[in-house]
Copies of this chain bind each other. A is one copy, B any other.
Amino acid sequence: MATLGDIGVSALINILSAFAFLLAFALLRIQPINDRVYFPKWYINGGRASPRRGGNFVAKFVNLDFKTYLTFLNWMPQALKMSETELINHAGLDSAVFLRIYTLGLKIFVPITVVALVILIPVNVSSGTLFFLRKELVVSDIDKLSISNVRPESIRFFVHIGLEYLFTFWICFMLYKEYDNVATMRLHFLASECRRAEQFTVAVRNVPQISGRTIADSLDHFFKTNHPDTYLCHQAVYNANKFARLVRKRERLQNWLDYHQLKFERHPEKRPTKKIGFLGLWGENVNSIDFYKQQIKEFDKQMELERQKVLNDSKSILPVAFVSFKSRWGAAVCAQTQQSKNPTLWLTDWAPEPRDVYWRNLAIPFVSLTIRKTIISISVFALVFFYMIPIAFVQSLANLEGLERVAPFLRPVIELGFIKSFLQGFLPGLALKIFLYILPTILMIMSKIEGHMAISTLERRASAKYYYFMLVNVFLGSIVTGTAFQQLHSFLHQPPTQIPRTIGVSIPMKATFFITYIMVDGWAGIAGEILRLKPLVIFHLKNMFLVKTERDREKAMDPGSVDYPETLPSLQLYFLLGIVYAVVTPILLPFILVFFAFAYLVYRHQIINVYNPRYESGAAFWPHVHSRIIASLLISQLLLLGLLSTKKAANSTPLLVILPVLTLSFHKYCKSRFEPAFRKYPLEEAMAKDLMDRTTEPDINLKAFLADAYLHPIFRTFEEEEMVEVRVDKVRVDRHQTNAETAQTREDFSSSSPPHHVHRHSSPPHHSYQPTSPPQDVYLHGIASQYEYNLSSPPHYGYHYEAEPWTSRD
């Protein structure tokens, strides 16, 4: 294994590469041309409209103020300037609490590192004789600092046990304090929020089909009967698969039109033409701009028909609805109680934020949910333990012989020496690399199949799956040699008490590997995160070829939110490593400390300047963070038990058996003490906010406020949609007032034709979560209580009485 010198070299390389990334970042970010890549949050926020440094033409793209190059690390103090309250206002509670995970890491590991290094290193080193479990193991300097150096049956193991106790109590204490903090922050955040649609709304699934009655009728009847004092109105969800397909087709046509118009603008002398036959290869030559305008016009008519059909056909109403109440109390009551005698009907739950709704999963029936969950559980298990099988299969196909067999004509090329050696080195790894790259996407698709209703839930579930994968394949997989499948096989054929021993014995030996892992993934990786190389390239490409208006530029720079499904599990892996190695090889701890401190700075900077949260869940992920740190504690206790039992310190077993029991009791207590704050909404709170509302604004028109809050995004014009988003995100003003504005915008849309309409389809609205593939079935969502209104005044009603139709716009 590696010596201290090897570690030093590795550290140097990683520090240098991290430094290089930081330097590149420092240079790139002060160029005005990159301002929208490194500070998009300020643009979205309205805090900045154009790069700060202007002046002459060159200065618009390149920073000429050489003084700023000298202070290239000044983003670090800047990142720390913002207070937590400001941060919550700036980026939401999710982001602020996400940063608290890093500070929690620091709070937990700084004292542990100090104590472990001061006490354990002398204890381990001074044991004198280095004892090896097996002869074939190579000595390493790191091992001399670890528990491996302690003689079997030594009394010194009680120091390790004592410290394990101490660390467990310290970690539990910090976890308790932090859970308390976060729960208070969440309740405070929820309490200080303005009036928001989801506070009054409950999502109802599995509305029963009663013959001779529409869904809207039975909804109205049921809630008027059972919540007579609080029921306000409901919004039905429509099945609009066909309409969604039309919308997508129209977008494609619009793209073509944009493309041709752009071409025409650049070369006004050459009128673009198009053959109308198959794939544009033959047929009559027509003016392509006119052709697409004509097509779009026809499409709009077709869409209007389809829209009417969807709204008129009672069969297209899904048995799902968003039911709104007159008070938060009413919604809290309805969300937390069972409604019907048949517990599979009228399932109520809190409605997610409108922008957090994952519309496609709304129509999944109850029975299928159980089956879906079972199938996905089995699939995740299979994925975690057997993912190597298909990859090995693909690898076996993707070798040179396989390639030659499939494509014999390539043989002469392949047989060339350098190409052959390149392919031989490259091909086998390719399948695995591709798999690991698409793994988060696979896990997200699995979560979607499970049928959760909110994007935030989907991300949490995907994050859990990724954590299991990392735990088995990165942590256990690195400690125990062989694939996860082989491990599973050997674990099934070992006595249960043997498993912690098998793993425990290998733990100290793998310390150097994990130190290297932390440096590569944790140090250099985080430095790569701040550089944002991929978004940088993509932004400039888009900027060069697509962007025409300010709005398009905003869409091109859209940074999205922090990638929780990937970030949270790897963060939890660092906690696991720190806790497991705290008493075994304490020399690993400083590396983890550096990671937590550096990552904290980087993510603070990114959250302040870059990311724009897609939703606000009010730190709903915290219970998972908490319970996974508890799980890490349990794992570390079990592994120490196994390790010590191989050290013949068997009389310590009873001492170490108590610890997991205590930890589990602590977890149970925390669960009952704090978790309800994240899952339920106390009536006391709801009533207090209701009363405050009633005194401050007694004459609010809640019905108007809630009217189209849960309208399917596909059903809105894009103008409306963005207005709503901005409103929900930042301003959070009274919906009642802005409703008039929305109507105004709608009017604008049909009567005027602003120039930025041309490119408004160039990038997808950041509402829809489907990363690459177009939605298979999207559900149209309307307001049943305003049914007549919708029919008579669709967004496109302008067509019918407007003097200027679509075609006359440019």
Contact = CB atoms under 8 A, between A and B. Distances in A.
A378 B661 contact: yes
A343 interface: yes
Q: Is the interface of A mostly helix, strand, loop or mixed?
A: helix
A338 B370 contact: no
A696 interface: no
A339 B683 contact: yes
A497 B494 CA distance: 8
Interface stretch (A6-14, A28-36, A665-673): A665-673
A545 B729 CA distance: 83
A450 to B, nearest CB: 13
Interface stretch (A273-281, A402-410, A607-615, A674-682): A674-682
B495 A677 contact: no
A290 interface: no
Nearest to A191: B341
A492 B682 CA distance: 45
A674 B370 contact: no
A683 B231 CA distance: 14
Interface string A77-114: 00000000000000000000000000000000000000
B665 A340 contact: no
Interface string A365-388: 011001101100010000000000
Nearest to A330: B333
A661 B374 contact: yes
Interface string A676-706: 1100111111010000000000000000000
A343 B674 contact: yes
A697 to B, nearest CB: 19
A374 B370 CA distance: 31
Contacts of A371: 665
A343 to B, nearest CB: 4
A495 B493 contact: yes
A674 B496 CA distance: 36
A125 B104 CA distance: 68
Given A665-B374, A672-B343, A682 B495 contact: no
A6 B371 CA distance: 49
Contacts of A366: 672
A332 interface: yes
A684 B340 contact: yes
Contacts of A770: none
Contacts of A338: 336, 676, 680-683
B343 A332 contact: no
Contacts of A222: 684
A336 B341 CA distance: 15
A677 B343 contact: yes
A74 interface: no
Contact of A495 (B378, B495, B685): B495
Contacts of A492: 495-497
20 contacts: A187-B341, A222-B684, A332-B337, A337-B682, A338-B680, A338-B683, A339-B683, A340-B682, A341-B682, A341-B685, A343-B672, A346-B684, A366-B672, A367-B669, A370-B665, A373-B668, A374-B661, A374-B665, A374-B668, A493-B495
The 10 A-B residue pairs with the shortest CB-CB distance, nearest first, are A343-B676, A338-B680, A493-B495, A336-B337, A374-B665, A338-B682, A370-B669, A226-B687, A492-B497, A226-B683
Interface of A: 187, 222, 225-227, 229, 329, 332-333, 336-341, 343-344, 346, 366-367, 370-371, 373-374, 378, 491-498, 661, 664-665, 668-669, 672-677, 680-685, 687
